[in-house]
Structure 1
Amino acid sequence: MTNLTIGGVPEHFNYPWYLTLKNKEYNKQNINLRWQDFPGGTGAMCKALRAGDVDIAIVLTEGIIKDIADGNPSKIVQTFVKSPLIWGIHVGAKSSFKNISDLEHATIAISRFGSGSHLMAIVNAYNQGWDVANLKFKVIGNLQGGIDALTNGEADYFMWEHFTTKPLVDDGTFRLIDDCPTPWPCFVIAVRDEVLENNFEEVKKVLDIINGKTKNFKQIDAINRILAERYEQQLEDIQQWLKITEWNDGKPISKNIITRIQNKMVQFKVIEKKKNSSNFIKNMYI
């Protein structure tokens, strides 16, 4: 039995992993795959990949590209969710800020530097024509940290996945100012180089299993109600999320896609310069 550890955010995007683990589908392939929740998001998972604490991670595209460029010894093996991620731009319910233009000089809560909440704040600032060099950040760790920072006035706004934070908008903790979609596919699967070297076939089996599950995920009986209940969402919000979310069909990620994303990240000043796109990916299906 091969032991592998996988990390991901405890959100509805990753429910297909829960189902395959619950059904012991990896065990049937002689793989002991153990899941670890990362409420801190992509920055925390990049750190765990570097430390060898996880072997595989379901990470935000922009976060892992930046971290591989900065020396993370991992590769992207495929896209997981190919549709954009919708980032909600939230303020505290009692905040005086009303419009996105009010936020130009405000303090931004981020889970950590290099995380999606950090990088997408830069993308949003660029979209608004603000001076990215003047952005002010407050590191808050995770979603609960964001709630605390906005409630206590330690930060002014916080960007997190729209549907994950929708219950906090509904209950009056946050107020949604606007949305900012990622200009690229949102989640990819990253694997440590050492694991790809030693357990290539096992990783391939893991991908085959999860791609089989996501292929017909939307057709699972009552999946909208299951997700709404599990993630404490309104049914209509989950239905809308399912409508706009597309998982990967198992095709490998291309160098062209990585190059296009790097071009945008350089434009947004998220990374300084492009690197050879083949350094970021490993094609599992050659």
Structure 2
Amino acid sequence: MVLRVGYVREHFSSPLLQFAEEDGGKTFTLVECPSGTGQLIGRLEKDEIDVAIALTDPLISGIAKGSKAYKLVGSYVTTPLNWAVITGKNSPYNSISDLQGTTIGISRYGSGSQTMAYVMALQQGWPTNELKFQVNNDIRGLIDSVNDGSTSAFMWEWFTTKPFVDAGECRFIGSVPTPWPSWLIAAHPERAPASALTPFLEALSGHVRAFDAPEQRAAADVAFIKDKFGYAEEDIKAWLKTVGYPQSCLEIPKQVILDTLSVLEKAGFVQSPEGGFDVGEFVNTEVVTLV
């Protein structure tokens, strides 16, 4: 079978894109989801994709809230994601503390832009049940909303947003790194059987290890990202200093799931069932190993 793999076209996806170029559509096809993880989860639910490479927190919170559309099947990025807090070019907001009680822009409900707003509120000591949101679909809609005043700010990955800041379209007023490794891999439990998933993830692991190698980071990775995404070379090199990938995509540290659930619960975004969460319910053990 040919797997339909949903992804977000960002620099993080570089090893996946390199794999796709080599595979040529023989074992999988890529389905771009520009609105991010909320859209990826929606497409898993609607039978539009079989596999999603997506953000840790929305994937875990979706299962915690009862979604049966996917299970976790692997790891993709082992380092935190640095979420920038972005406001309009002429807005009155100059720091994160200025945002309390305002309307925050998000791409979709259940997206990383929403879960991280809860984490930001937790860090700031704001009542998380008072957070207000407006859905603006993608980064263009989010930037427009902070400039027309319908939202105060939004959260998006730092380097993805930096070209818009450099162009004077919006401003950074802070950042909130994730308290967990930032990207996991999820798949529909029936549409993506182990017989197709395991070879896909084994091959992806090889591309991830190659991308992560010091000699590749020094030159080839920089050239690839510059060609695919048009980022400034100094930004690419700065990002490469911060990002880490797993040796094997077929392993997930059990503590990643537990720690993410703990923070999301404290933030009021998920509620633990009586007796606590069962980590085994979050993963497809036919494919991935909990370590």
Q: Which amino acid aligns with 1:169?
A: V
- Aligned CA-pair RMSD: 1.5
- Which SS does the other structure have where 1:244 is aligned? coil
**Contact 2:37–2:111 (8 Å) recurs in 1:** yes
Identity score, percent:
33
1:200 aligns with 2:200: no
Structure 1, 163-172 or 133-142: larger mean CA deviation: 133-142
Partner of 2:279: 277
- Which SS does the other structure have where 2:190 is aligned? helix
CA distance in 2, matches of 1:91, 1:263: 29
CA distance in 2, matches of 1:233, 1:253: 31
**Contact 1:75–1:282 (8 Å) recurs in 2:** yes
Partner of 2:65: 70
Q: Which amino acid aligns with 2:132?
A: K
Q: CA deviation at 1:72?
A: 2.2
What do the CA deviations read for 1:197-227 (whole angstroms, capped 9, x no partner)? xx31221111011110111204334321331
Partner of 2:231: 233
Q: Which amino acid aligns with 1:67?
A: G
Q: CA deviation at 1:257?
A: 2.6
CA distance in 2, matches of 1:95, 1:247: 37
CA distance in 2, matches of 1:150, 1:260: 32
Partner of 2:209: 215
Q: CA deviation at 1:140?
A: 0.4
**Contact 2:82–2:177 (8 Å) recurs in 1:** yes
CA distance in 1, matches of 2:222, 2:16: 16
Please give the TM-score of this superposition, normalised by the length of structure 2.
0.92
Partner of 2:265: 266
User: For 1:248, which of 246, 249, 252 is the aligned residue?
Assistant: 246
Aligned length: 279
Q: Which amino acid aligns with 2:34?
A: P
1:181 aligns with 2:180: no
What do the CA deviations read for 1:173-215 (whole angstroms, capped 9, x no partner)? 110001100000111000101034xx31221111011110111
CA distance in 2, matches of 1:201, 1:49: 19
1:42 aligns with 2:41: no
1:3 aligns with 2:2: yes
**Contact 1:68–1:75 (8 Å) recurs in 2:** yes
Q: CA deviation at 1:285?
A: 5.6
Q: Which amino acid aligns with 1:87?
A: W
- Which SS does the other structure have where 1:188 is aligned? strand
Structure 1, 262-271 or 33-42: larger mean CA deviation: 262-271
Map 1:57-206 onto structure 2 (within 5 A): 57-73=52-68, 74-196=70-192, 199-206=193-200
**Contact 1:26–1:206 (8 Å) recurs in 2:** no
Q: CA deviation at 1:26?
A: 6.8
Gaps of 5+ in 2: none
CA distance in 1, matches of 2:141, 2:71: 30
CA distance in 1, matches of 2:54, 2:140: 20
**Contact 2:7–2:52 (8 Å) recurs in 1:** yes
**Contact 1:49–1:72 (8 Å) recurs in 2:** no
Q: CA deviation at 1:282?
A: 2.1
What do the CA deviations read for 1:47-84 (whole angstroms, capped 9, x no partner)? 11112211000111110111112232211111100100
Q: Which amino acid aligns with 1:161?
A: E
